[in-house]
Amino acid sequence: MQRFENKVVLVTGAGSGIGKGSALRIAAEGGAIFCVDLNLAAAEETAKEISAAGGTALAQACDVSSEQQVIDCVAACVEQLGSLYAVINMAGMLRFDDSRELELAKWQQILDINLTGTMLMCREALPHLIKSGGSIVNAASTAALSGLPCGAAYSASKGGVLAMTRSIAVDYAKQGVRANCVCPGDINSGMTQGIDWPKTMDFDLMPRIMSISGPKNPEAIAGVIAMLASEDATHITGEDIRVDGGMLS
Ligand SMILES: NC(=O)c1ccc[n+]([C@@H]2O[C@H](COP(=O)([O-])OP(=O)(O)OC[C@H]3O[C@@H](n4cnc5c(N)ncnc54)[C@H](O)[C@@H]3O)[C@@H](O)[C@H]2O)c1
Kindly write down the DSSP assignment for every residue of 193-205, as one continuous string.
Answer: SS----TT--GGG
* Alpha carbons 59 and 47: distance in angstroms, whole number: 6
CATH code of the domain containing 195 = 3.40.50.720
* Alpha carbons 140 and 114: distance in angstroms, whole number: 9
Residue nearest to atom 44 of ligand 1 (CA): 184
For ligand 1, the distance from its centroid to the CA atom of residue 15, given in whole angstroms, is 9
Residue 1 lies in a domain: no
pLDDT tens, per residue, the chain with 249 residues: 899 999 999 999 999 999 999 999 999 999 999 999 999 999 999 999 999 999 999 999 999 999 999 999 999 999 999 999 999 999 999 999 999 999 999 999 999 999 999 999 999 999 999 999 999 999 999 999 999 999 999 999 999 999 999 999 999 999 999 999 999 999 999 999 989 999 999 999 998 999 999 999 999 999 999 999 999 999 999 999 999 999 999
Let me know if 28 is exposed, middle or buried by CB neighbors in 10 A (0-12, 13-18, 19+).
middle
Residue 2 lies in a domain: no
11 lines ligand 1 (CB under 6 A): no
In sequence order, what are the residues at sequence separation of 6 or more whose Cβ sits closer than 8 angstroms to the Cβ of residue 41? 15
The domain tally of the chain equals 1
Residue 147 lies in a domain: yes
**Which residues face 242 on adjacent strands?**
183
Residue 218 lies in a domain: yes
Domain that holds residue 212: 8-243
**Which residues face 116 on adjacent strands?**
none
pTM: 0.98
Residue 228 phi/psi, 5-degree rounding, is -65, -35
Residue 212 lies in a domain: yes
**Which residues face 60 on adjacent strands?**
36
Which ligand 1 atom is the nearest neighbour of the CA of 18? 16
Out of 4, 34, 154, 172, pick the active-site residue. Answer: 154
154 given a catalytic annotation: yes
42 lines ligand 1 (CB under 6 A): yes
16 lines ligand 1 (CB under 6 A): yes
In sequence order, what are the residues at sequence separation of 6 or more whose Cβ sits closer than 8 angstroms to the Cβ of residue 207? none
Residue nearest to atom 1 of ligand 1 (CA): 187
Residue 74 lies in a domain: yes
Residue 248 lies in a domain: no
